[in-house]
A and B are shown apart, each in its own frame.
Chain A
Amino acid sequence: AQTVTQSQPEMSVQEAETVTLSCTYDTSESDYYLFWYKQPPSRQMILVIRQEAYKQQNATENRFSVNFQKAAKSFSLKISDSQLGDAAMYFCAYRRSNNNDMRFGAGTRLTVKP
C-alpha cells in the first residue's frame, strides 16, 4: 500500500522568507504523480503544484517549487517570498499513473508571521 508521510505537523515562516515543507512516500510503483494541495481556513482545497515521477526536472509554479528525489522517495515543497496568504494547511498527495485513488499525507499547518 502506498503511504504518504508529512513529518512536520506545524511550520512557521517570516513574511518574505523561504520555507520548505517535507514529504516522503512509500511505493513500489515506478510511474506515479505527486501533488501539493493547499487548504486555507476557507476549507477549499487548491492544487499548488504537481510532479510527474518520470520527469527528472523539478516542477515550479511562480513562488512554489519542489525538490523531487525519486530514489529517496522525497517530495518537498519550497515556498519563496512567503506571503500572509500562504498561511494554510498543506497536503502532500500521491497517485499511481493509471489510478483514481489519491493518498494524502496528514498535512502541515503553515503560519506566516508579519
Chain B
Amino acid sequence: DTAVSQTPKYLVTQMGNDKSIKCEQNLGHDTMYWYKQDSKKFLKIMFSYNNKELIINETVPNRFSPKSPDKAHLNLHINSLELGDSAVYFCASSPRERGGGDEQFFGPGTRLTVL
C-alpha cells in the first residue's frame, strides 16, 4: 500500500509547455507539501497545505500553482516551463498542521526534465 503516491514519476517536456504533477496520500493526514530538489540535491519547501488551505508559500514563481481538491490530494501545475524548472519534485504529508515533531512522509518524487 503506497502511503504517498505521485504521478508521473518521470516527465520530459519542452520549454514553454504546461504540465501537472499529481499527489495523493492515503494516510488521513491533514497537511501536505511540495518540495523541489535541484541537481545538487538541495531540498527546498515550495508549498504547504492544511486541509485544502494554503499555509506556506515560499518565494516561488507564480507559474507554479498548487491545487488541493480535497485533503488527500495536492496537485502541482506548472505553466510556461523553463529550463531551470528541471528538478525532482517531492510531495509529502504529515498528520497535523503545526505538528513540529511529526514525521513527514514523502512520495517517490517526480523527475521533471525541461528540454
Residues of A within 8 A of B (CB): 31-33, 35, 39, 42-47, 50, 52, 89, 91, 95-104, 106-107
Contact = CB atoms under 8 A, between A and B. Distances in A.
A45 B90 contact: yes
Looking at chain A's contact residues, the main secondary structure is strand
Contact of A50 (B55, B56, B103, B109): B103
Interface of B: 31, 33, 40-45, 48, 50, 55-56, 88, 90, 92, 94, 97-101, 103-104, 106, 108-109, 111
19 contacts: A33-B100, A33-B101, A35-B103, A43-B111, A44-B106, A44-B108, A44-B109, A45-B92, A45-B104, A45-B106, A52-B101, A89-B41, A91-B43, A96-B100, A100-B31, A100-B48, A100-B99, A101-B48, A104-B42
